[in-house]
């Protein structure tokens, strides 16, 4: 997030898109609901499903799946045409406005309506509402990123925010909601193939040299590594030999699972380090038991870049170890000594090679976390990014044209499928499905469908249905819902026994490598 969670209550217009916030970020959704209910904020929701937040919204635009670039360009078309944009911000803080203006010319409200299904007048009203905000906040989540053009979607939202001067101010911002406790931190400390800690490119010789010196090694690779979604296909071809997987369950979370399973089985050597015997661990050569969050010391970075403490409350079961200790032991036995007294000692090393974390010490975050960047111990941290300038100086507008999703419906596969989570379960269910109460509330997978669509297939609420895509099929119960949009079914991906990802498409965004979980084509038939 460029801004803080607290900032949401300072916005006068909030635009939420591709985020079922009340189910996936319930506590954060309260900030949105309070802003709307008690602080006169206007709420715009752009989502195909009738999610709970639509009942709080002043405007709900229901776009066709995979058409986000179109409505965002449409909003900018109206804002520029009606001269509602922030001329001063555009002039002083940005580059590339002319190209953007030229590109969005063709995205007239009528043209947008044809592609997205959003009524032209509604688009105009929403454009005026967002552009009229003193501080407008954009919140988005995987509904924006999990597309073959997800990077385009994100850049388009950034265009919109810059156009209206909504960056670098309290209550504004472009705010991705992180779905996992430490996605932000994993990225911050170099858990990515293209960057070291603090996003220092591995292709930058200075960064490579700095790391070699800090780690006392030579010959670090300066070649960008493979993304997870690139490793597996290479395993399938035999080019890729070994994987060490920590705390992940790709055999439920990856797209096109049947293929993913073949890839993993083709590895020469698989190590899985986890707290449970997951679907993935069952295929491993060696399984290493680790401690869970309640059993260890350390830090997580949350979605607003706040680095917070994790503390040990109980002992790990049996012989389980902290994850860092396991990895360090393996390294040491391979001839590179890695030895730390504590997680705090590791954190001290992180500070020396991570400029944005340099000022964050354990004592400083004892009570309250600090937002990075925090370059020095006397620096208070940075709740709002880009207040004076962008890291690259001026913000760049990207003129982005519309590209349709990778897979569309046809005669054989006439329905769209979109996937996501429900409030009572979490990701692949490894943790939440151990709590009886949560299972009582959300016991099994389901196929959310509009009653009208169900009628076409003569399906009744609660019927078992087989859902098939070009890649696989699953069987689950039909659930009638007024959340559903006609022509599209929704299936949660938590449940391994009816894994939605047997159906999903592994087509990737070319930049982010994120799969298109939110759009694929399926067919339904009543299960025997």
Partner 1 sequence: MSENRIVINGNDFSFEPEETILQVASRNHIDIPTLCHLKGAAPTGECRICMVEVEGAQALVAACSGPAENGMVVQTESPKVIESRRMTLQLMLSSGNHNCAVRGSDDKDWTQFQLAVQKEDGSPQLCPVWGDCRLQDLAYRYQVSGERFPKTDTPYPMETVNPFIVRDFSRCILCGRCVQACNDIQVNQAIHFGNRGAATKIIAAGDRPLKDSDCVFCGECVQVCPVGALVEKDAKYKVRPWETKKVRTTCSYCGVGCQLHLHVKEGKVVKVTGAEDIPPNYGSLCVKGRFGFDFVNSPERLTTPLIREEDGEFREASWDEAIDLVAKRLGEIKEKHGGDTFGMLTSARITNEENYIAQKFARAVMKTNNVDHCARL
318-377 binders of partner 1 (CB under 8 A)? 318-324, 326-331, 333-334, 336, 338, 340, 343, 346-347, 349-350, 367-369
Find residue 488's DSSP bridge partners.
416
Enumerate residues 377-416 that contact partner 1 by CB under 8 A. Answer: none
Going from the C-alpha of 214 to that of each of 206, 210, 337, 351, 354, the distances in angstroms are 12, 6, 14, 11, 11
CA–CA dist 139, 18 (Å, integer): 8
Enumerate residues 51-90 that contact partner 1 by CB under 8 A. Answer: 56
Q: For residue 497, state whether it binds partner 1 (rule: CB under 8 A).
A: no
Total binding residues toward partner 1, as defined by CB under 8 A: 145
CA–CA dist 30, 18 (Å, integer): 17
Contact 494, 429 (CB under 8 A): yes
CA–CA dist 463, 489 (Å, integer): 15
Nearer to partner 1, 86 or 516 (CB): 516
Q: Give buried/exposed letters for 427-444 (b at 16+ CB in 10 A, else e).
A: bbbbebbeeeebeeebee
Q: How far is the CB of 125 from partner 1 (least distance, A)?
A: 25
- Burial class of residue 116 (count of CB atoms within 10 Å of its CB; 0-12, 13-18, 19+): buried
Contact 15, 172 (CB under 8 A): no
Strand 370-371 with 306-310, pairing = antiparallel
Nearest to 166 by CA among 287, 294, 339, 44: 44
Q: For residue 515, state whether it binds partner 1 (rule: CB under 8 A).
A: yes
Nearer to partner 1, 98 or 268 (CB): 268
Enumerate residues 207-236 that contact partner 1 by CB under 8 A. Answer: 211, 215, 217, 219-221, 223-229, 231
Q: How far is the CB of 184 from partner 1 (least distance, A)?
A: 6
Going from the C-alpha of 475 to that of each of 1, 198, 408, 466, 516, the distances in angstroms are 38, 44, 22, 4, 21
Enumerate residues 168-187 that contact partner 1 by CB under 8 A. Answer: 177-187
Find residue 14's DSSP bridge partners.
43, 137
Residue 187: other Cβ atoms inside 10 A = 16
Stretch that binds partner 1, among 64-72, 245-253, 392-400, 456-464 (CB under 8 A): 245-253
CA–CA dist 175, 383 (Å, integer): 12
Nearer to partner 1, 117 or 247 (CB): 247
Nearer to partner 1, 84 or 330 (CB): 330
CA–CA dist 77, 117 (Å, integer): 17
Nearer to partner 1, 191 or 455 (CB): 191
Q: How far is the CB of 292 from partner 1 (least distance, A)?
A: 6
Q: How far is the CB of 297 from partner 1 (least distance, A)?
A: 8
Q: For residue 289, state whether it binds partner 1 (rule: CB under 8 A).
A: yes
Instruction: Cite the beta strand spans of 355-445 per DSSP E.
Output: 370-371, 395-396, 415-420
Q: Which two tokens stand for residue 221?
A: 């690779």
Among 93, 296, 386, 479, binds partner 1 (CB under 8 A): 296
Nearer to partner 1, 15 or 288 (CB): 288
Q: For residue 485, state whether it binds partner 1 (rule: CB under 8 A).
A: no
Nearer to partner 1, 116 or 356 (CB): 356
Nearer to partner 1, 22 or 63 (CB): 22
Nearer to partner 1, 20 or 116 (CB): 20
Going from the C-alpha of 173 to that of each of 85, 170, 366, 367, the distances in angstroms are 16, 8, 28, 26
Enumerate residues 430-469 that contact partner 1 by CB under 8 A. Answer: 430-432, 434-438, 440-441
Among 317, 443, 455, 462, binds partner 1 (CB under 8 A): 317
Nearer to partner 1, 102 or 282 (CB): 282
Nearer to partner 1, 131 or 307 (CB): 307
Stretch that binds partner 1, among 74-82, 127-135, 410-418, 507-515 (CB under 8 A): 507-515
Q: How far is the CB of 514 from partner 1 (least distance, A)?
A: 5
CA–CA dist 100, 311 (Å, integer): 48
Cβ-based neighbours of 459, under 8 Å, separated by 6 or more: 449, 465, 478, 524, 526
Q: How far is the CB of 194 from partner 1 (least distance, A)?
A: 7
Q: How far is the CB of 302 from partner 1 (least distance, A)?
A: 3
Q: How far is the CB of 461 from partner 1 (least distance, A)?
A: 17
Enumerate residues 94-153 that contact partner 1 by CB under 8 A. Answer: none
Nearer to partner 1, 21 or 116 (CB): 21
Among 13, 14, 16, 28, binds partner 1 (CB under 8 A): 28
Q: How far is the CB of 332 from partner 1 (least distance, A)?
A: 8
For residue 32, give the 3-state DSSP assignment: helix
Among 20, 303, 409, 445, binds partner 1 (CB under 8 A): 303
């Amino acid at each position: 997030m460029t801004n803080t969670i607290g900032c949401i209550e300072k916005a006068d217009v909030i635009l939420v898109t591709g985020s079922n916030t009340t189910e996936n970020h319930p506590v954060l959704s309260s900030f949105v609901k309070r802003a709307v209910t008690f602080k006169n904020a206007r709420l715009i929701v752009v989502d195909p499903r009738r999610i709970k937040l639509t009942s709080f919204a002043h405007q709900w635009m229901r776009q066709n799946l995979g058409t986000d670039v179109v409505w965002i360009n449409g909003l900018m078309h109206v804002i520029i045409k009606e001269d509602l944009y922030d001329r001063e911000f555009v002039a002083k803080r940005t580059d590339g406005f002319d190209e953007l203006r030229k590109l969005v010319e063709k995205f007239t409200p009528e043209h947008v309506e044809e592609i997205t299904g959003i009524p032209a007048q509604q688009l105009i009203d929403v454009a005026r509402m967002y552009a009229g905000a003193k501080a407008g906040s954009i919140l988005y989540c995987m509904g924006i990123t999990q597309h073959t053009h997800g990077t385009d979607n994100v850049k388009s939202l950034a265009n919109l925010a810059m156009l209206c001067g909504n960056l670098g101010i309290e209550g504004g911002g472009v705010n991705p909601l992180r779905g996992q406790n430490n996605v932000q931190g994993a990225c911050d400390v170099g858990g990515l193939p293209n960057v070291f800690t603090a996003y220092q490119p591995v292709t930058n010789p200075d960064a490579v040299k700095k790391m070699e010196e800090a780690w006392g090694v030579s010959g670090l690779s300066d070649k960008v590594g493979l993304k997870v979604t690139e490793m597996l296909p290479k395993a399938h071809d035999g080019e890729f030999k070994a994987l060490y997987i920590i705390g992940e369950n790709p055999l439920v979370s990856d797209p096109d699972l049947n293929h993913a399973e073949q890839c993993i089985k083709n590895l020469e050597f698989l190590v899985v380090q986890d707290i449970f015997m997951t679907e993935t661990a069952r295929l491993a050569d060696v399984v290493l038991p680790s401690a869970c969050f309640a059993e260890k010391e350390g830090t997580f970075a949350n979605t607003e870049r706040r680095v917070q403490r994790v503390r040990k409350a109980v002992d790990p079961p049996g012989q389980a170890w902290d994850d860092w200790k396991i990895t360090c032991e393996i390294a040491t036995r391979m001839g590179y000594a890695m030895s730390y007294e504590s997680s705090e000692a590791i954190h001290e090393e992180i500070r020396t090679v991570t400029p944005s974390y340099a000022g964050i010490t354990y004592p400083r975050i004892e009570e309250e976390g600090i937002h990075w960047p925090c370059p020095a111990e006397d620096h208070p941290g940075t709740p709002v990014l880009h207040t004076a300038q962008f890291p690259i100086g001026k913000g760049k507008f990207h003129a982005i044209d519309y590209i349709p999703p990778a897979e569309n419906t046809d005669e054989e596969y006439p329905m769209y499928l979109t996937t996501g989570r429900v409030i009572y379960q979490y990701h692949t269910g490894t943790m939440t499905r151990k709590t009886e109460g949560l299972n009582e509330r959300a016991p099994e997978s389901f196929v959310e469908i509009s009653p009208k669509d169900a009628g076409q297939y003569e399906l009744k609420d609660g019927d078992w249905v087989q859902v098939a895509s070009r890649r696989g099929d699953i069987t689950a119960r039909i659930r009638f819902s007024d959340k559903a949009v006609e022509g599209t079914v929704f299936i949660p991906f938590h449940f391994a026994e009816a894994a939605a990802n047997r159906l999903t498409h592994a087509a990737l965004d070319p930049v982010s490598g994120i799969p298109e979980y939110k759009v694929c084509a399926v067919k339904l038939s009543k299960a025997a």
